[in-house]
A = this chain, B = another copy of it.
């Protein structure tokens, strides 16, 4: 297979971003992650943190209410403006040549291109340990944080793509990084490039 672009979707805390960086480094191609947020920030005027949060996660209550509302609310919501700008940015990055793109529904946004679609997941315990190690303790338990993030990421994905997040059939390769190890996941993805 001759895929020029690798998209990596991932469960929160599964190490998908790290795997993306490592794959890109080994293949000598760029990995777009924060770069996307930076560019969207520049074009949309939204703050970096706002985009990081709202460009991949559904917000409960206000957001869903807003998103599904018919009438009354004329024009695009902030979330919709963000989606449009993010989509445009991702397609621009993809035009530059071979690369790895982490998250942000890139698999869906680039589905008309030659892409290798990867999904990285891991068991809850591995992910809980990882997020505490990387992001520190919070008031909420790691399990609660994982559950909330997964739920919101999945809702965001479904809303904008009308597809099911984490369904094996939507990806070319799905890997459990907790069980296989990050290095092995990198090996497999690189071997497919």
Segment at the interface with B among A25-33, A73-81, A170-178: A170-178
Least CB distance, A170 to chain B, in whole angstroms? 8
Chain A interface helix/strand/loop/mixed: mixed
Q: Does A176 contact B180, Cβ atoms closer than 8 Å?
A: no
Segment at the interface with B among A48-56, A133-141, A184-192: A184-192
Least CB distance, A81 to chain B, in whole angstroms? 31
Task: List the number of copies, as a whole number.
Answer: 2
Q: Does A171 contact B168, Cβ atoms closer than 8 Å?
A: yes
Residue interface mask A149-163, B partner, CB < 8 A = 1:
000000000000000
Bound together, the chains give a CA A125 to CA B175 distance in angstroms of: 24
Bound together, the chains give a CA A89 to CA B11 distance in angstroms of: 36
Does chain B have a CB within 8 A of A62?
A: no
Q: Does B1 contact A168, Cβ atoms closer than 8 Å?
A: no
Does chain B have a CB within 8 A of A119?
A: yes
Does chain B have a CB within 8 A of A179?
A: yes
Q: Does B176 contact A172, Cβ atoms closer than 8 Å?
A: yes
Complex contacts, A179 vs chain B, CB 8 Å: 1, 172
Q: Does B121 contact A169, Cβ atoms closer than 8 Å?
A: yes
Option from B1, B167, B180, B181 in Cβ contact (under 8 Å) with A166: B167
Q: What residues of chain A have their CB less than 8 Å away from a CB belonging to chain B?
A: 1, 11, 119, 121, 166-169, 171-176, 179-181, 184, 187-188, 191-192
List 29 A-B pairs, Cβ < 8 Å: A1-B179, A1-B180, A1-B181, A11-B169, A119-B174, A121-B169, A166-B167, A166-B168, A167-B167, A167-B168, A168-B171, A168-B174, A169-B176, A171-B174, A171-B176, A172-B175, A172-B176, A172-B179, A172-B180, A173-B173, A173-B174, A173-B176, A173-B180, A174-B174, A174-B175, A184-B191, A184-B192, A187-B191, A188-B191
